[in-house]
Amino acid sequence: MVRKLWIPINNNISSHEGRKDCETRSEQVKDTTDSQVNNDISDQESKRESDTSNMPPKDTCTYWKYLPLNRAAVKGDWESARQIIQEDKEAATAIVNMHGETALHVVVGMGKAIHFVKELVKFMPKEALSMRNNLGQTALFLAAVVGYTEAATILLKEDPSLLYSRDNYGYLPATTAVYARRHTLCHRQQQAPYS
């Protein structure tokens, strides 16, 4: 770390004494500064370790195992995804990227491949549809953001309670749709019964 130190120059001291004096002061300031910096760093680290509110789910750390499934979801390639899911039953509900998203989040967020969404939902248990990413959003939130009405309809048909789930910021999917200037879920919320 580069530090700029201000050291006053005393014109009454010979140059040799002046250098010694400056070096001594510099070392004192440097020692104090280093200990202060180290204390600040350790305080920040302990705060980070104790604050788990913004931490990703524990499964997020193993997403690399499911990168091929993530790629298939991005491309909308259901055949590749189906092979992966058939080989590993947990893959349908596994976190596939560093954002804590499942393959359903990814494919819905891409706003294409409705066939992929339909087939993937068949492989997933109903509770898995309410899985959340690091922002606390279900796949329905992503459908709201991109205006993917067909995917929103499929998700709500399987689990109508998704319409009333809130993200980490307290927003509903319909609120997110309004902010994204999409009318996908605004229309759906008018039709849905209150629970």
Q: Looking at the chain, list the stretches that DSSP marks H as alpha helix, in order from N- to C-terminal side.
A: 15-50, 67-75, 78-87, 103-110, 114-123, 139-146, 149-158, 173-179, 184-191
pTM over 0.95: no
Whether the Cβ atoms of residue 146 and residue 117 lie closer than 8 Å to each other: no
For residue 93, which phi and psi values (nearest 5 degrees)? -115, 10
Q: Which residues contact 150 (CB under 8 A, 6 or more apart)?
A: 114, 117
pLDDT of residue 3: 44
For residue 28, which phi and psi values (nearest 5 degrees)? -65, -45
pLDDT of residue 36: 52
| Residue corresponding to tokens 């530090």 | 3
User: Tens digit of pLDDT per residue, the chain (195 long)?
Assistant: 444 444 444 444 444 444 444 444 444 444 444 455 455 445 544 544 444 444 445 455 678 899 999 999 999 999 999 999 999 989 999 999 999 999 999 999 999 899 999 999 999 999 999 999 999 999 999 999 998 999 999 999 999 999 999 999 999 998 888 887 755 555 555 555 554
Q: Which amino acid is at 124?
A: M
Q: Which amino acid is at 72?
A: A
